[in-house]
Amino acid sequence: MSALLLLLAGTALTGELPPATPGLCPTDAVAAAPGVDTETALTTHVAELWGLAPRVVFMEWGPGQGEIPGEAVCLRLLGSGAGGTWVVEVSDGEGLVRRRARFGHMEHRWVAAHDLPRDHVLAAADMASEREPRWGEPRSTPEPEPGWTTRRVIRAGQPLTSPGVAPALLVESGWAVEVELRRGAVLLRVTGESRTAGSLGDDVQVRLPTGKLVWGTVRPGPVVEILPQQER
C-alpha cells in the first residue's frame, strides 16, 4: 500500500490529523524550503500574500503550548487573517503544532516636512517619507503627490492622508462646467452649473440648463459625466 493510502487509512480509523510528511502537505498548506527556519518561512509566505518584500514583514507568536519546530516541513494559515492574525499550523514531519500568530509590516507613509496651511498646494519639498510598524495587511489608500491640496492645517510630522489632503479641486461650486450625458449610443454635451466642488473621480451635483439637479462624476477636462442611473 502506498504512503498516501496508509495516511488516509490512518486518518479514517483514528479521526485524528496525522503528522505531515515531506511531499504530502495538505493542498492548502505551503511546503517550507529546506534549511529555512519556521519564522522566515512564515513571514516570506505572508509577504507573498500581501505583495510585499519579505524583509518588511515581521511576526510574533501568541501564547500556547507545544514547542514550535525550528524548521517546518508544512505550514498552513487558518482563519481570515483579519488584523494580521492567523492560527498557524506547523509540522516538521514528526509532529504538528497549532499556535496563534500575528503578522505586520513596515508601512511606508508620507508626512508633512513642515507645518502646512490649509488650501496649500503640495510640492515635493513639503513631503517627507518615513516607515513605521503596523500590524495587519497593507492599507489600499492612494498616496499623495505634488499638486494635491491640503484641506486643513497639517503640522510637521503629521501624515498626509485623506481627508487632510486630496487631489486638487477640478470643479468649484458655482462654476460653469461641461456636462456629458449618455443616452444609449448618443452622447449629449451641455453646459451646466456645479453646485458642489470636487476632485478627479468625485461625484458632484450640477444644475442642467433645464433647471434639473443631477449628480455626475468629475472626469479629466474637467467634464462632469452623467450616467443614466445618475440622471434619474
Please tell me the predicted confidence (pLDDT) of residue 33.
85
C-alpha distance from residue 104 to each of 10, 90, 209 (Å):
38, 19, 54
Domains of the chain plus CATH, in order, are 15-105 (no CATH), 106-129+138-166 (3.90.1210.10), 169-231 (2.30.30.760)
Please tell me the predicted confidence (pLDDT) of residue 94.
82
DSSP 164-230: TEESPEEE-TT-EEEEEEEETTEEEEEEEEESS-EETT-EEEEE-TTS-EEEEEEETTTEEEE-HHH
Q: Tens digit of pLDDT per residue, the chain (232 long)?
A: 433 333 333 333 333 434 434 446 778 788 888 889 999 999 999 999 999 999 999 999 999 887 888 888 899 999 999 999 999 999 888 888 999 999 999 998 999 999 999 989 999 999 999 999 999 999 887 889 898 999 999 999 999 998 899 888 889 899 999 999 877 788 889 999 999 988 888 899 999 999 999 999 999 888 999 876 666 5
Please tell me the predicted confidence (pLDDT) of residue 231.
61
